[in-house]
Amino acid sequence: MTDATPASLAERVRDGEVRFHELEDHADANVAAAARRRLVAETADADVDVLGEYAFDAADAHGSNIENMIGAVQVPLGVAGPVSVDGGAFGGERYLPLATTEGALVASINRGCSVVNDAGGATARVTKSGMTRAPVFRVADVAEAEALVAWVRDNEESLREAAESTTSHGELLDVTPYVVGNNVFLRFRYDTKDAMGMNMATIATREACDVVEAETDAALVALSGNLCSDKKPAAINAVEGRGRSVTADVRVPREVVEERLHTTPEAVAEINTRKNLVGSAKAGGLGFNAHVANAVAAMFLATGQDEAQVVEGANAITTAEATPEGDLYCSVSLASLEVGTVGGGTKLPTQAAGLDVLGVRGGGDPAGSNGDALAEAIAVGALAGELSLLAALGSRHLSSAHADLGR
């Protein structure tokens, strides 16, 4: 490490003495980022100085969160609520942190939270948990595939021992085989506690794959065979779940629907059926909801989650019905919400602050409880957003709300 300046370090890159991606080997991370900004600005003929205004030490992000860092992009952060929640792990009244550039989104979720409070609060529960990794193996034919499936079922304990030798926190829950011709997929599912757990599951599964190859005739083709399924729309996640499967619901009295949302339970229920269920089915969609991705993405950004996993997080079904008493029952079930409160982006200061707003930063007691609480909080945010949007459609206020809020 030298006393290099951004200017001198950039000059060394131009002269070919230092590679662009190796600057942190020659200066501290903040100087390295500043040098890259100089080089990028020259190449792009752009003013990128604003990217150097960030509230964390670049050394905290370098390597674990980013490579070739030149700065940070700031996304406005708002809150909705506080909202009252009766959760299995998340309870009381809490603000929901939402990072977004979409005007009207926080206002809409905030309105939904207010209605939830007037209804007595929402209920939320995590109903299933397990991070998956599904390697694909090559076998000679279907007979060999059947033999591998039988071996896996007889030797799951050996696979568990190998997988769990790589982690002090993760637990292998089960291994489910799937056969397609001479391809065998083994879907490993882990309890990763408060970590989102993708890296944990990957490392553990690699160790188990060594046992499979040593003890059978199968050959590992790829550690991820896309049956996991990570960062892609997939029906298996909708049915079997991935990460945390979580549901939030609320029963809103008729008078609250009419006075606060300016519509009726029957109208909201019909819109949900014709739009979210029939419309989504006709479109071939996996998400039978109005805009769950909005709440998931905004809370992911605010709390340091892997933003690409919004793909699975928005794999949700919204239900709405008028009860026999004339009230509105509404629920949102997110099948594959992949979240954590330790590791990854959760350790960055601004994202850690978002977790602090929810009271779920770091490992929970018992282990896994903070991850469950975060999932329940996101589900309630999604529920509030669905209520508000469905009602806006029912009262025909959607376009005027966006116009009034600059969108």
Find where tokens 């998340």 sit: 90
pLDDT digits (tens, 9 = 90+) for 246-304: 999 999 999 999 999 999 999 999 999 999 999 999 999 989 999 999 999 999 999 99
Q: Where in the chain is the domain with CATH 3.90.770.10?
A: 77-129+243-404
Report the C-alpha dihedral over residues 192, 194, 199, 204, rounded to 10 degrees: -20
Question: Rounded to an integer, what distance in angstroms lies between the CA atom of residue 319 and that of residue 386?
Answer: 10
**Residue 175 near residue 156 (C-beta atoms within 8 A):** yes
Question: Rounded to an integer, what distance in angstroms lies between the CA atom of residue 170 and that of residue 197?
Answer: 8
Query: Residue 91 has which token pair?
Result: 């309870």
Q: Where in the chain is the domain with CATH 3.30.70.420?
A: 135-222
Question: Rounded to an integer, what distance in angstroms lies between the CA atom of residue 359 and that of residue 88?
Answer: 14
Position 402 pLDDT exceeds 60: no
Question: Rounded to an integer, what distance in angstroms lies between the CA atom of residue 174 and that of residue 159?
Answer: 10
**Residue 296 near residue 339 (C-beta atoms within 8 A):** no
Other CB atoms closer than 10 Å to residue 73's CB: what's the count?
7
- Could you confirm whether domain 135-222 is CATH 3.30.70.420? yes
Classify domain 77-129+243-404 at the CATH topology level.
3.90.770
What is the phi-psi region of residue 348: left when phi exceeds 0, alpha when psi lies from -120 to 50, beta otherwise? beta
pLDDT digits (tens, 9 = 90+) for 245-260: 999 999 999 999 999 9
pLDDT at 399: 45
In degrees and rounded to multiples of 5, residue 230 shows phi and psi of -100, 125
Spatial CA neighbour of 215 closest among 281, 167, 150, 284: 150
pTM listed for this prediction: 0.94
Catalytic residue annotation: 102, 306, 402
Radius of gyration of the chain from Cα atoms?
24
pLDDT at 396: 75
